[in-house]
Structure 1
Amino acid sequence: MKEREELLDSEELEELNENDGQKLKIKDVIKVLIIVVAIVLLIGFFVKPIIVEGASMNPTLQDDDYLLISRQSYTFGEPERGDIIVFPHHESTEDSLYIKRVIAIPGDHLEIHDGNVYINGELQYEDYIKSGAITEGYVNLVIPEGQVFVMGDNRENSSDSRYFGTVNIEEVTGEVFVRLWPLSEIGRP
């Protein structure tokens, strides 16, 4: 009889262990789900994916390139010359974004004439624009505080600060920090 009691006790114990194991599994799944949701929300706060539409940033960026932008790049600083930034397109009825390169920052004296760009009197060597491309237009201005002057790398096919003026730094959505697609071009553009 004692053996039967011990046998029942071990069966009951085994059943209890199975129930505890199932409870533990459910708790583990819930913990993993909470962690995944937290990571997704955190990433969404810091990073935003975008797809390039158009040719204004050729040859650096191509139509349909898949990019990630850092939403927090300028939380503790300001854009620098050469940064590729994303900001709202105010002339559009959609929530579309522009992707352009920062050419001049607050306080810079920018001149564009004779197909060349000068910052503070120095001719700029822009190896990111298409070979033989010229920068059309005439600009002679000091960039105001809180503003940046932006242009597309495809100077002959870009709506940029030459046409719509400087961009308010507070309106910048973020800085492009990595290209994910196409895979052959993965990395910092």
Structure 2
Amino acid sequence: MFSETEKETTKSFSWKNEIKEFISAAIWAVILAFIIKTFIFQLTYVPTGSMIPTILPNDRVVVLKFWYKIKPIERGQIVVFDPPNSANSPPFIKRVIGLPGETLEIKNNTVYINGKPLKENYLPAKMEMEPFGPFKIPKDAIFVMGDNRQHSADSRYFGAVPIKNIKGRAVLTYWPLNRVKVLR
């Protein structure tokens, strides 16, 4: 009825082996998920409107955690970070405006970096901003602002963000589906 090969295959099957294999696969899946979430990327929920129009409330974004291990921080990038002096606060998401060592000032609704106006094509045409600065950014920190400047708690209020507080770079809005886009 069964060939010799089929008999040996039937004999070697055991539920004990199947359960061991399943447990082993589950353990490896958990380890891999932990490594990915800890070192590679995370999915982040954005609860506020501080980044309107770029990111809307309730959007979900992909954050690359390793990004700044291989590339330097650049002006205009969107970062997720732990706010300074707020141990129990959830992470914030803002745009990098000023880099270490630069002097930032806001006057006449324009941001100036080292005395030169900053081009910010991602902002609405008529953005009202209170005068600020001049402010010298420490060598180990960045200055961040929300795109929705009138409704954003950012470096104008809590100061420069230490580079060590940065969790990663936001690169993609993935939810809701009608808002999927690469963040620039």
TM-score by length of structure 1 reads 0.83
Residues 1:137 and 2:137 aligned together: no
> More displaced, 16-25 or 143-152?
16-25
How far apart, in 2, do the equivalents of 1:106 and 1:11 lie? 74
Equivalent residue letter for 2:37: G
Gaps of 5+ in 1: 1-6
- C-alpha separation in 1, matches of 2:71 and 2:137: 17
How far residue 118 of structure 1 moved from its aligned partner, in angstroms, is 1.1
Contact 2:96 2:142 in 1 (8 A): yes
Aligned residue number for residue 122 of structure 1: 116
Q: Does structure 1 residue 42 correspond to structure 2 residue 35?
A: yes
Quick check: 1:83 aligned with 2:107?
Answer: no
CA distances 1:33-65 after superposition (whole Å, capped 9, x unpaired):
344334312221211111101111000000000
* Structure 2 unaligned spans of 5+: none
Matches within 5 A, 1:149-160: 149-160=143-154
Give the counterpart letter for 2:82 in structure 1.
Answer: P
Change in 2 beyond 3 A, CA 1:112/1:27: same
Q: 1:90 to 1:169 in 2, by over 3 A?
A: closer
The match for 2:140 is 146
Question: Which 10-residue stretch deviates more, 72-81 or 152-161?
Answer: 72-81
Once the two structures are superposed, the pairs formed by residues 15-26 of structure 1 within 5 Å of their partners are 15-22=7-14, 25-26=18-19
Counterpart contact for 1:105–1:149, Cα < 8 Å: yes
Greater CA drift, 113-122 or 29-38: 29-38
Displacement after TM superposition at 1:29 (Å): 3.6
Q: Distance in 1 between matches of 2:159 and 2:69?
A: 23
Secondary structure of 2:182's counterpart equals coil
Give secondary structure in 2 for the equivalent of 1:74. helix
SS of match in other structure, 2:172: strand
SS of structure 2 residue aligned to 1:75: helix
Larger radius of gyration, structure 1 or 2?
1
Q: What TM-score results when the alignment is normalised by the length of structure 2? A: 0.85
Distance 2:24 2:159 in 1: 50
Partner of residue 94 from structure 2, selected from 82, 91, 100: 100
Q: Which residue of structure 2 aligns with residue 4 of structure 1?
A: none
- Structure 2 letter corresponding to 1:181: W
Aligned pairs, number:
181
Q: Given that residues 84 and 158 in structure 2 are in contact (C-alpha distance below 8 angstroms), is that contact kept between their aligned partners in structure 1?
A: no
- Quote the offset at 1:169 in angstroms: 0.3
> RMSD value over aligned CA atoms?
2.5
**Percent identical residues:** 34
Task: Give me the whole-angstrom Cα distance separating, in 1, the residues matched to 2:165 and 2:84.
Answer: 10
Question: CA–CA distance in 2 between the matches of 1:176 and 1:90?
Answer: 19
Mapped to 1, the partners of 2:107 and 2:66 lie a distance apart of: 35
Distance 1:102 1:13, change over 3 A: closer
The alignment status of 1:66 with 2:60, answered yes or no, reads yes
Residue 26 of structure 2 aligns with which residue? 33
How far apart, CA to CA, are the structure 2 residues paired with 1:31 and 1:164?
47
